[in-house]
A and B are shown apart, each in its own frame.
Chain A
Amino acid sequence: MSELHSPFLSRRLSVSSVMFDVVIALVPLAVIACLAFGINSLIILGVAIVSCLLSEILFSAILLRQTNTWKDSSAIVTGILLALTLSPLTPWYIVAFGGVTAILFGKVLWGGLGRNTFNPALVGRELMTVFFANTMNGTGIWSTAKHVNLQPTSFFPNVAESAGSYLNKLIYSPQGALGEYSILFIVLGGLYLIFRNRISWHIPLAMFFVFTQVQWLIPDSIPFQFALAGLLFGVLFMATDMPTSPSHNSAKIYYGVLLALVVAILIIGEVRYAYMSYGILIMNAFSRPITNLFTPRPWGKPSEWKSMVKPVFILTLSVLGTAFAVVSLARLELINYLVYTYLIFIVFEYYYRFQYEVCSFITSKKNDEED
């Protein structure tokens, strides 16, 4: 929008209202988490949100010379998402560490919201896993059963036992991470976002379709275990994150399909707990190439699909290859080094590239204003 060039009208929609819709969709999950684990959940959510907000304010001011970025609510979204992937027994200082690193290494060093390649909440989570490996991967932190405040009750007393318990599990089942207790509300939140056009159905549906096909094709002899709630949470709220996923339909479908394959590979490769976050992070890395490859066909132009076969084939191979590489690294317990490499890479990138880009972006904005 500028004074001299058309258009002179703009939809009353801002980045913060987009982000706020995501917050609305996540609130029911946070409430359920608080019902299930009481004060524990509240502390984790609070610490995550506050640490994200504070580090956003601090690091944006220092590194990006921008002081108003916290207003766009994206830090709150990152905080809630991060908290919802954690166990209710995670110590608060680890959560705070996760919040700070999520914003710093996941977002600010990339140049701020929208320029990041990886989902900040997942970056924070993986850094927590690497630097607090003993706590985060210990079995203690995941045996939550005896801490549950609100035991699951039967919502359908009249329905036959097996069906009833299945339905109850869909509504409330306090197992796993904070955000995974109610499949019903995860799906409702996702539907709300789809209804508000904040995410589109393409990634979740493509992912789910392919994933069920894979599950059906895999012989019974191979163990194939996953938590449906975690899968849904990841695909609806993490994989559809705007900056880190493709922006138009054909690319989104391809992205969803490959996400399903990568996650399946990780599950078969016995990457426990983290198959969803690794899967999404791997796909994040390929989001821009996918976007560039699957462009929409312009109005009235002939289709170019024939020339796309080769690049699509190669891209698919590299994505699947990366998935296998990650499986091997996880088996050899070398994932830590991958994360260290990432840290070095991002600091380097910031120092030699984004720093200047950010500065030139700011000066170009100044010039605009002077026009």
Chain B
Amino acid sequence: MLQIPDYAKKYKGQEVQDLPDPEIFLMPLNGYKSLLTPVVQEGEQVRQYQLIAKSGQQFGTYLHAPVSGTIGALKSINESQYLTLHNDFKYIEQKLSPSVPEKWSKQELLNAIKELGIVGCGGARFPSHIKFNTGDNPVDFLVVNGIECEPFFSADYALIKYHADELAQGIKVVKQIVSPKKIVVAIKRKNKELKEILEAAFLQHKLQAGVRLLPNHYPQGEEFQLIGTITGHKLSKGCIPSDFGVVVSNVATFRAIAKAIFEGKPNVERITTLYNEEQKTGANFLFKIGTPIAHIVEHSKFIPQEWKKKRLRLGGAMMGKNAGQQLVIHQGTGGLIYLVPQIVSQTNCINCGYCTQVCPQYLMPMTVIPGFSGQKNNLINRYNMLSCIECAACEYSCPSKIPLLKYIRQAKSILKQ
């Protein structure tokens, strides 16, 4: 199993910082398998927290204005849709409707979660009202994922450290929805100092929940790995966890739910880590959804002014994207990382097996390398490359620096045909 050094050690416990808000927000309209349509016109004045876009599609969600201001044009950049919003810096708030959820039914809570735009904060932005709608399946485990296995990231750490209170409230709300037999908060063993903080918060809110310290492996925070470690069920790729009585969600999602229900505030901000590998410094920031990366680069001292898009990574060094492909902070962006390019030269596979040793799915990634003697289409099939979760552990460990993930994606697209 792969161990990645704790790069965030120095800064993970620091206070979450603020940046001045940008003048122009680009609100991302592409959600999880859905495209939101604006419900406001160009030129319209909107208040802070006002609904600006929604979608009626299966996985559709709601999007709210993070500040008050004027709606601008629709923009399409790199095949993604954005709605511009000009900040007037007046912060005129929409009237919020905080509530006391004890009296609410399950369906009312799910509706509130949907209408306040809560989606999974772990990266994929799966809509929470669908995830928590477990129907008649009994739920054995509610797993609160505080693992955060991407190197450099510490947003979830800061969230647990400074907002354990809200986290406990959020868990209580979800508990009311899914009525689990057991609640488990999973954190990494190296972050064990968080355990006391969490337990104190649970005690205060009279919440029956356990804190589990899990190994520091990468990718321990991946949903199926987490379920495997906590419940012992090994679900293969494509299974729906709630069919097996498990519901997993990220800590940031629970906090967003607490804010939504108890304060009536929609999901318009998140904690995100900035890191610069050149200076080896990082910090956590509170950003509003839709803050453009260019603005962050300009105002935080973390990323050099003459930044190169090629070196800025959004959403993590292991599984994230190049910042050229996504221009703003969205609900699932855990971090923004400025990396020093590594000069590597690719050599032949030496069959060391490190990629197999670290693969969480127990696959044989070296079999996808073109020219590997076993490479026949049916053979790749036997090697079950389709269950690869693209966690990149294999490529990280390869001493020959082979772009395994690129080959895996190629092999997958061949296999899918």
Q: Are B371 and A361 in contact (CB under 8 A)?
A: yes
Stretch at the interface among A145-153, A178-186, A240-248, A273-281: A240-248
Given A114-B350, A242-B350, A247-B352: A6 and B392 interface contact (C-beta under 8 Å): yes
A158 interface residue (CB < 8 Å to B): no
A189 interface residue (CB < 8 Å to B): no
How near does chain A come to B24, taking the closest CB pair, in angstroms?
A: 27
Interface size class of B (residues with CB under 8 A): 35 or more
Q: Are B234 and A300 in contact (CB under 8 A)?
A: yes
Q: Are A248 and B363 in contact (CB under 8 A)?
A: no
Which of A3, A111, A247, A365 counts the most B-chain CB atoms under 10 A from its CB? A247
Q: Are B351 and A247 in contact (CB under 8 A)?
A: yes
Give the CA-CA distance A4 to B398 in the complex, in Å. Answer: 18
How near does chain B come to A19, taking the closest CB pair, in angstroms?
A: 9
User: Chain A residues near B293 (CB, 8 Å)?
Assistant: none
B104 interface residue (CB < 8 Å to A): no
Give the CA-CA distance A18 to B353 in the complex, in Å. Answer: 12
Stretch at the interface among B48-56, B60-68, B175-183, B339-347: B339-347
A112 interface residue (CB < 8 Å to B): yes
User: Chain A residues near B313 (CB, 8 Å)?
Assistant: 6, 8
Give the CA-CA distance A3 to B308 in the complex, in Å. Answer: 11
Q: Are B396 and A7 in contact (CB under 8 A)?
A: yes
**Which residues of A (10-50) have their CB < 8 Å from a CB of B?**
10-11, 13-15, 17-18
A113 interface residue (CB < 8 Å to B): yes
A161 interface residue (CB < 8 Å to B): no
In the complex, the chain B residue whose C-beta lies closest to that of A18 is B399
**Which residues of B (332-370) have their CB < 8 Å from a CB of A?**
337, 339, 341-342, 344-354, 356-357, 360-364, 366, 370
Give the CA-CA distance A15 to B356 in the complex, in Å. Answer: 16
User: Chain B residues near A298 (CB, 8 Å)?
Assistant: 236, 361-363, 384, 387
**Which residues of A (236-256) have their CB < 8 Å from a CB of B?**
242-248
Q: Are B383 and A9 in contact (CB under 8 A)?
A: no
Q: Which of A296, A300, A365 contacts B239 (CB 8 A)?
A: A300
In the complex, the chain A residue whose C-beta lies closest to that of B359 is A296
User: Chain B residues near A292 (CB, 8 Å)?
Assistant: 374, 379
User: Chain B residues near A245 (CB, 8 Å)?
Assistant: 351
Give the CA-CA distance A3 to B151 in the complex, in Å. Answer: 18
**Which residues of B (385-399) have their CB < 8 Å from a CB of A?**
387, 390, 392, 395-399
Q: Are A6 and B362 in contact (CB under 8 A)?
A: no
**Which residues of A (302-343) have their CB < 8 Å from a CB of B?**
none
How near does chain B come to A313, taking the closest CB pair, in angstroms?
A: 19
A72 interface residue (CB < 8 Å to B): yes
Question: Using a Cβ cutoff of 8 Å, how many contacts connect chains A and B?
Answer: 149
Please give the number of chain A residues whose Cβ is less than 8 angstroms from any Cβ of chain B in the complex: 48
In the complex, the chain A residue whose C-beta lies closest to that of B322 is A4
Q: Are A10 and B348 in contact (CB under 8 A)?
A: no
User: Chain A residues near B339 (CB, 8 Å)?
Assistant: 8-9
Q: Which of A14, A15, A69, A299 contacts B228 (CB 8 A)?
A: A299
A139 interface residue (CB < 8 Å to B): no
CB-CB contacts of A55-91 with B at 8 A, as 1s and 0s? 0000000000000110010000000000000000000
Q: Are B401 and A299 in contact (CB under 8 A)?
A: no
User: Chain A residues near B397 (CB, 8 Å)?
Assistant: 11, 13
B299 interface residue (CB < 8 Å to A): no
Give the CA-CA distance A246 to B354 in the complex, in Å. Answer: 12
Q: Are A300 and B356 in contact (CB under 8 A)?
A: no
Q: Are B318 and A299 in contact (CB under 8 A)?
A: no
Given A18-B352, A247-B356: A5 and B384 interface contact (C-beta under 8 Å): no
Give the CA-CA distance A197 to B397 in the complex, in Å. Answer: 12
Q: Which of A112, A242, A299, A357 contacts B236 (CB 8 A)?
A: A299
Give the CA-CA distance A297 to B384 in the complex, in Å. Answer: 9
In the complex, the chain B residue whose C-beta lies closest to that of A244 is B351
Given A72-B347, A247-B352, A365-B346: A300 and B406 interface contact (C-beta under 8 Å): no
Give the CA-CA distance A291 to B383 in the complex, in Å. Answer: 11
Q: Are A288 and B373 in contact (CB under 8 A)?
A: yes
Give the CA-CA distance A13 to B403 in the complex, in Å. Answer: 15
In the complex, the chain A residue whose C-beta lies closest to that of B387 is A298
Give the CA-CA distance A245 to B352 in the complex, in Å. Answer: 9
How near does chain A come to B380, taking the closest CB pair, in angstroms?
A: 11
How near does chain B come to A48, taking the closest CB pair, in angstroms?
A: 21
User: Chain B residues near A197 (CB, 8 Å)?
Assistant: 354, 357
Give the CA-CA distance A301 to B337 in the complex, in Å. Answer: 35
How near does chain B come to A66, taking the closest CB pair, in angstroms?
A: 9
CB-CB contacts of A214-258 with B at 8 A, as 1s and 0s? 000000000000000000000000000011111110000000000
In the complex, the chain B residue whose C-beta lies closest to that of A357 is B371
Q: Are A113 and B310 in contact (CB under 8 A)?
A: no
How near does chain A come to B254, taking the closest CB pair, in angstroms?
A: 27
Q: Which of A8, A17, A365 contacts B399 (CB 8 A)?
A: A17
User: Chain A residues near B396 (CB, 8 Å)?
Assistant: 7, 9-11
Give the CA-CA distance A68 to B363 in the complex, in Å. Answer: 31
**Which residues of A (143-180) have their CB < 8 Å from a CB of B?**
none
How near does chain A come to B16, taking the closest CB pair, in angstroms?
A: 24
User: Chain A residues near B346 (CB, 8 Å)?
Assistant: 1, 365, 368
How near does chain B come to A299, taking the closest CB pair, in angstroms?
A: 4
A295 interface residue (CB < 8 Å to B): yes
User: Chain B residues near A301 (CB, 8 Å)?
Assistant: 236, 384, 387
A272 interface residue (CB < 8 Å to B): no
In the complex, the chain B residue whose C-beta lies closest to that of A354 is B371
Give the CA-CA distance A292 to B319 in the complex, in Å. Answer: 29
Q: Are A288 and B353 in contact (CB under 8 A)?
A: no
Q: Are B364 and A10 in contact (CB under 8 A)?
A: no
Q: Are A9 and B236 in contact (CB under 8 A)?
A: no
B251 interface residue (CB < 8 Å to A): no
11 cross-chain CB contacts under 8 A: A2-B403, A8-B337, A9-B151, A112-B348, A113-B348, A114-B347, A243-B351, A247-B351, A247-B353, A298-B387, A300-B234
- List 13 other contacts, CB 8 Å, given A2-B406, A14-B399, A299-B361: A2-B403, A4-B310, A9-B342, A13-B397, A13-B399, A15-B350, A15-B400, A111-B348, A112-B348, A291-B374, A295-B382, A296-B356, A368-B403
Which A residues lie at the B interface, using CB under 8 A?
A: 1-11, 13-15, 17-18, 68-69, 72, 111-115, 197, 200, 242-248, 288, 291-292, 295-301, 357, 361, 364-365, 368
A-B pairs, top 5 by smallest CB distance, nearest first, are A300-B236, A247-B353, A114-B348, A7-B392, A9-B317
